[in-house]
Amino acid sequence: MANWSAENATRAYLRALKMGKTGKEPDVAEFISALAAGNNAQLMVVACADTAGSTALSLVAAASQTGGRVVCILGAAESVAESRKALGRYADSVDFLVGDAETSLRNDDRCRGADFVLIDFRIKDHKRVFKAAEDEAAARGGRGLVVGYNALRKGSWLSENKTEFLPIGDGLVIVTVGSRGGRRKSRWVVKVDKWTGEEHVFRITSPFLQIGA
């Protein structure tokens, strides 16, 4: 990943807002979009427990800003048609892959080199899937982010890498692979109220945002 780009993060965040709020916790999708775009992710992989929805859209928004690609791993073939319907006109921006998430992350060429991996913790054996994403990032000697959502539904989480937990929506677990460490830094994000048009500027302070800084 390249240096953090506040401009990319803000634009992806706003684009995610415009693309529609389809999930129960839309702020999660918007945050994920800003996180991926801000870190200039080039290959984003999302492993869904069922139909792709707002989280996949968040990566599409990020990819439109960074020029990256999005791969969506689904566990069943019938989920592809449902996901395409859910994503609407943005479905063509996603490369759908059907199969076991752990196996796909370790062996499928379309997932190799992913620098941003997003995992639904509702997936069976989600810890093994998460570990596979970490292993692949470490094996290629690069740096990346592995993010788990719906984390509160599965209890606590431990990782050998730097781990952050954010109580957003049903919980986000964010693991930095290949982090260089250092003091915490602040990043600014702008949110626009869709009803009033008012801009809200807020700051995120967390070590996982230091990738490439």
**Which amino acid makes up residue 29?**
A
- Three-state secondary-structure class, residue 152: helix
Across 38-130, where does the E strand assignment appear?
43-47, 69-74, 94-98, 116-120
Going by C-alpha positions, the residue among 161, 83, 155 that lies closest to residue 121 is 155
Angle, CA 88 vertex, CA 84 and CA 93 arms, to 5°: 70
Lowest mean pLDDT among 120-124, 153-157, 193-197, 209-213: 209-213
Alpha-carbon distance of 158 to 154, in angstroms, equals 12
Alpha-carbon distance of 54 to 205, in angstroms, equals 24
Extract the tokens encoding 140: 């290629």
Contacts of 196 (CB under 8 A, 6+ apart): none
Mean pLDDT of the chain: 77
Compute, in degrees rounded to 10, the torsion defined by CA atoms 66, 41, 75, 93: 10
The model carries a pTM of: 0.75
Over 50: is that where the pLDDT of 201 sits?
Answer: no
In order of their start, the domains of the chain are 6-210 (3.40.50.150)
**Which amino acid makes up residue 74?**
L
Most confident of 19-28, 50-59, 91-100, 138-147: 91-100
Going by C-alpha positions, the residue among 58, 10, 8 that lies closest to residue 200 is 10
Quote the pLDDT of residue 208: 42
Over 50: is that where the pLDDT of 211 sits?
Answer: no
Over 90: is that where the pLDDT of 81 sits?
Answer: yes
Phi and psi at residue 195, in whole multiples of 5°? -85, -40
The distance from CA 158 to its chain's CA centroid, rounded to whole angstroms, is 19
Q: Which residue has the higher pLDDT, 185 or 104?
A: 104
Contacts of 122 (CB under 8 A, 6+ apart): 49, 50, 150, 153, 154
Q: How confident is the model at residue 24 (pLDDT cuts 50, 70, 90)?
A: very low
